[in-house]
């Protein structure tokens, strides 16, 4: 089932929240957005896949992940925090490079594109 949102006239699947237009995102550049009162970081990889993770860096406590450096480790899409350079898997949120710190992870949300609109499915943390 889908619902028509008056703001975009796009058909959005039930249980998903429209966040922004796909055109608002640049390939391998992060963008911050609000999902309710939570800051999320959105990324589009060179393959066209959209990823959504928490914008809060678990190591520095700053909302900066959207400004991180996007890359890959093998076939794994990653983002490196601009603060202390920990590297996170964009698919799972797992920290792949802790730089000698305790392993911490980013929260991730399912992301999809419906009618050129980026949608996020809220799930319990």
Concatenating the DSSP letter of every residue in 14-68 gives TTEEEEEEGGG--BT--EEEEETTEEEEEEE-TTS-EEEEESB-TTT-SB-GGGS
What fold does the segment set 26-110 form as a domain? Rieske Iron-sulfur Protein (2.102.10)
Average pLDDT (69-79) is 96
> Residue 83: what pLDDT?
97
Which residue from 89, 96, 124, 119 is spatially nearest to 8, judged by alpha carbons? 119
User: Which one-letter DSSP state was computed for residue 82?
Assistant: T
Placement of tokens 């640049």 in the chain: 26
Q: How far apart are CA 48 and CA 43, in angstroms?
A: 9
Confidence of residue 33 (pLDDT cuts 50, 70, 90): very high
**Average pLDDT, rounded, for the chain:** 90
The helix/strand/coil state of 17 is: strand
Strands 11-13 and 16-21 turn out to be: unpaired
Q: Is 71 helix (H, G, I), strand (E, B) or coil?
A: strand
Residues 89-98 pLDDT 10s: 999 999 999 9
pLDDT at 122: 82
Instruction: Enter the pTM of the model.
Output: 0.88
d(CA 64, CA 73): 21
Domain boundaries, the chain: 26-110
Question: Is 47:29 a contact under the CB 8 Å cutoff?
Answer: no
Alpha helical stretches, state H, 1-125: none
């Amino acid at each position: 089932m889908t619902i028509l949102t008056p703001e975009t006239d796009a058909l959005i699947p039930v249980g998903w929240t429209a966040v922004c237009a796909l055109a608002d995102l640049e390939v391998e550049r992060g963008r911050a957005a609000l999902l309710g009162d939570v800051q999320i970081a959105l990324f589009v990889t060179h393959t066209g896949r959209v990823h959504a993770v928490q914008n809060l860096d678990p190591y520095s406590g700053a909302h900066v992940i959207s400004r991180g450096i996007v890359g890959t480790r093998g076939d794994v899409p990653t983002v490196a925090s601009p603060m202390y350079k920990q590297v996170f898997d964009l698919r799972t949120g797992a920290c792949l490079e802790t730089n000698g710190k305790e392993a911490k992870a980013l929260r991730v949300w399912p992301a999809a594109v419906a009618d050129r609109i980026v949608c996020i499915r809220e799930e319990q943390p």
